[in-house]
Every structure is written in C-alpha cells, then in structure tokens.
A and B are shown apart, each in its own frame.
Chain A
Amino acid sequence: MTDSVVQLERASLRFSGRSIWSDLSVSVPRGEFLVVIGPNGTGKTSLLRVLLGLQPPTGGSVLVHGHAPRRGDPAIGYVPQQRAFDPELPLRGRDLVLMGLDGHRWGISLNDRANRVRVDRILALVGAQSYADTPIGWLSGGEQQRLRIAQALVGDPSLLLCDEPLLSLDLHSQQVIVQLIARWGREHGATVIFVTHDVNPVMSVADRILLLAGARWGIGTVDRMMTSAALSRLYGTPVDVVQHAGRIAVLGADLGGHDPVAARTEDGR
C-alpha cells in the first residue's frame, strides 16, 4: 500500500446534490497504466480534477503520493483533450512545451539555457523537433498532441493524467500518442491515468480498467472488465461485448469500443 501513487478510499463527488461517483476505492500502484472509461457525465474528467487539486472530493479520502492533492503539484503531468489552436496564435511548439516547465512561475523568463536543453531533449523524445518552430495552429491534430505530451513530460512527472488525449485524432496518431505515453511510463516507472471513451487504442498497454458507470463502478484487467457479464452487472442492463479482429465493440451501452468511424461521426467531428 505504501507504493500507491494514487489512493482513493470511499471517495465520493457530488455536484449540487447530484452524486457523480461514490464509495470509490481505488489504489493505483507505481508504474501502472490505468484506463478510465465510462459514459458521459460519470465524472471521468472530475476524477482528474480531484487528483489535480482543482476540485475537492465531497467525501472519503483521496491521496496523491501520500498527501492530499495539491494544486500545481510538479510531480503531475497533465495532457488535455486535443483542442485546435488558432492558426494566428503567436506560439510555437517549443513555447508550449517550455510553458509546461516554467509557465506557472511569476515574472519573465530570461534566456534559460538549462530549460532550453530540457525542452530540446523532450521534443526529440516525442519526435517533434522538425515542427517545433512552426506556429502551433498550423500543425495537425496529431502533431499538436505530440507537443502536448512533450509539455506534460518536460517536468519529469511521476504521475501522468490524460484527459481524452485521443479525441479527434486519426487511428495512426492515436497509436503514436498511446505508445509515447506507455513507453514513458515503462521507462520512468511513471503512473498513467488515462481517460478515454474508446478502449481499443489502449487495450494493448492498459494494466487495468476503471469503469465509472454512475451509481456503480468497477475495476479490473481488460480481460475481466470487458466482458458481457461484467458490463451488464455494472450498467444494470444487458450489455453485449463483441470481440472481432482484435477490437472490442460494446453493444447496448453508451461506452467506447465502437467502430472508430462510427465513434467519430457520433462525436460530430
């Protein structure tokens, strides 16, 4: 238990009287790749906000690295949803990454050599050097998201929180991003909590899946969780999990695992 990076005990979250999740008890060990799935409105993003110290839990206890979540914890890296930048925004990839290192500090930055070296190193790691000086709004979604990963990793976090980082990315970019994050986790012993609505891109790297389903929640390995029996029990309605050609489709529930093309039209993207 001492090795838990994130520990929730009977934690609950309510918004204006409505329960989002309750009695959530999860212990995430060091180095685990935990995937969080669940229908919209079940508090996946809120869970990340609680861990980031932006939202206090309503009940129970939440510990990150053994203490209550702290705002701006330097040990946490955060990757948000891909959100396109304005093409005219005067910001280059390397500026975005540098902000992950010193953007929260007061004052102006003088030309800090050590920081520049760190930024260059992380840009190389994610393979984004060739477009690091291009205005960020001119880049593709996949390229922007690689820079997001670099921004989250440049502070050398031991816990990486990813909020739907694959949304609106093509299949190839999804794989690139997942592999980058998983490799970082393996090589640095870092813990990854990865919120997604489609389990397929992360099935090969996920250690466990946490499913938030409103009143109920469940956690387990991919094989244990992604079964008709497990999902039917959590949702309280009959759900079918179909495996085909290494992909999972969930029928009868508002949850990932759709055919990716169908999922994209559903998102209206």
Chain B
Amino acid sequence: MTSLWGYAFVHQALLAGTITAVVAGVVGPFITARNMGFAVHGLAEVGFTGAAGAVLFGFAPEIGLVGACFLAALAIGLLGVRLRERDIAIGTVLAFGMGLGVLFLVLYTRYATEAFSILFGAILAVSAEDVVWSAAVGAVVLAALVAVYRPLRFASVDPDVAEARGVPVRLLSVVFLLILALAVAEAVQVVGVLLILTLLITPAGTARRLTAHPGRVVAYSILIAVGVTVGGIVGAVYTSWPVSFFVASLSLIAYLLGRTFGARVRT
C-alpha cells in the first residue's frame, strides 16, 4: 500500500488538490459573507452542462466547464442585481443548464464515465497538464481577489455605506461572480459538481465560527480546506473509496467541531 506514494498520479493529485483548496479557502469567506451558497451550486451545475456540451462537440470538458460557468455568472450577475431576484435568476439559469446537460448525456452516451467524474470529482485522475492548468486558474483567481479585496469586503458586509463611499457595488457583484466561476471550475475537479459546497462553503463557515478577525478567517479557511482535501486524497489512496466522500466527511466533522467549540474560542 505504501508503494502507492511513489506514483506520479498521487503527487499530481496532492498538488492540484492543494492549489484548489487554497483558492477555495480564500474565496469561501466572501461566499458566506454574501450568502451565495445557492449561486455556487447553480454555477457548478451549469458547469456540468458546459463540460457535457464540450465533449459532445469535440472539445476538452475543462473548456466547456469554465466557459459555461463564466456565461452563467454573467447571466446571474446581469439578471439578478437585486438580492431578492437573485435566487430566482440563479434557479432559472441552473435548471435550464441541467436540462441541457441531460440532453447532452442522452445524445452522447459514451460521455457517461466523464459525466460521473465531473459530478463527483476525479482528482486522482489529474494529469501533469491538469496541475499546470489548476495553477494558472488559481493564480488568476487569487490575483483578482487581491485586487478587489477591500472594496469587495466592504460591499459584502456593509453595502449601504460602501455605496455611499463610492464603491462600485454592482460592478463588484458581477466581478465576484466571474471570480466565483473560475473557483467553481477549479473545485469541480476535486469534489465534483454535486459536492462543490463542501470545499467552497464549509471551510469558511467553520472558520467564521472560530474567529471574528477578518484576516484570520481567511487563514483558517485556507488551512481547513487544505486539510480536508489532503486528508481526503490520503484516505482515498489507502482505501480506494472516493476522494469526495472523504473530503465531504472531513468537512462535516470540521464544521461540527467548529459549531461545538467555536463560541468558546471566538473573540
């Protein structure tokens, strides 16, 4: 069993997983502050459609995944400017996306295996090329977040005053959706479309139970995301059970621990 650690696919999985977890850990606190869990799920499902469509038309599924996430993010951002409309806009776009996805699956039955990896993640199958791709997308997401960090945080937690201080609140909400689209595409390769929230919501949700210090929330969120991802890969390598099962389980445990003991340490 220990001999498995010598294989390149394990190294690649750990590398791509860690990069993805760092990205998820940084984006997560913004998702929770903006109550955008539903949007994340919606983007991921539309991403599935994009991947299915790309395969059907002879492109790489990653391109379809990112492209569809991006288009859906734009659509959600432009349709649902106001918070109350946002859920409806997301729900409509995501249901349409899944409908197309089903159609693509039926039209191209050989796609079933790939569909399974996109729905549930396939981090142990990433190639060296995929690692480079992850790093590139991750770098873009992190650079974009650093650039908009302060006004985005202001707009997320205190939109009225942010607007009064001249922060372009609406523009930032579209920009953040685009950042989110990339982060979702990145996280799909580890945990898959259907388990996306376990990486993008739970680490940040746990971190905010542990501290109210905004900087530390990001740091804890990264640590938890990396911990559950690496733990998940290790668990899968030892047992040959799915990575996403372990990641989701570790996330749940972290969250429950955070809920139970968080209030005592949080100041």
Contact = CB atoms under 8 A, between A and B. Distances in A.
Contacts of A108: 146, 149-150
A106 B151 contact: yes
A115 to B, nearest CB: 12
A136 B267 CA distance: 10
A107 B150 contact: yes
A78 B157 contact: no
Nearest to B262: A88
A90 interface: yes
B150 A96 contact: no
Contact of B166 (A88, A95, A104, A152): A104
A161 B160 CA distance: 13
B161 to A, nearest CB: 6
Contact of B151 (A76, A78, A100, A105): A105
Interface string B81-97: 00000000000000000
Nearest to A148: B161
A99 interface: yes
A134 B267 contact: yes
B29 A103 contact: no
Contacts of B151: 103-106
Interface string B211-226: 1111001000000000
A260 interface: no
B9 interface: no
Say what secondary structure dominates the interface of chain A.
Answer: loop
Contacts of B158: 96, 99, 103
Nearest to B167: A104
A204 B147 CA distance: 46
Contacts of A53: 166
A104 B165 contact: yes
Contact of A95 (B147, B160, B209, B214): B214
Contacts of B214: 90-92, 95
Interface residues of A, number: 38
A107 B146 CA distance: 5
Given A90-B207, A96-B158, A103 B150 contact: yes
A161 B165 CA distance: 12
Nearest to B145: A108
Contacts of B217: 90
B167 A103 contact: yes
Contacts of B207: 90
B212 A104 contact: no
Contacts of A106: 147-148, 150-151
A264 B55 CA distance: 61
Interface string A78-97: 10110101001111100110
B175 to A, nearest CB: 11
Given A70-B166, A89-B208, A90-B207, 13 more contacts: A53-B166, A72-B164, A72-B165, A72-B167, A78-B161, A80-B164, A90-B213, A92-B212, A103-B151, A103-B165, A104-B151, A105-B151, A152-B161
Interface of B: 29, 33, 146-151, 153-154, 157-158, 160-167, 207-209, 211-214, 217, 266-267
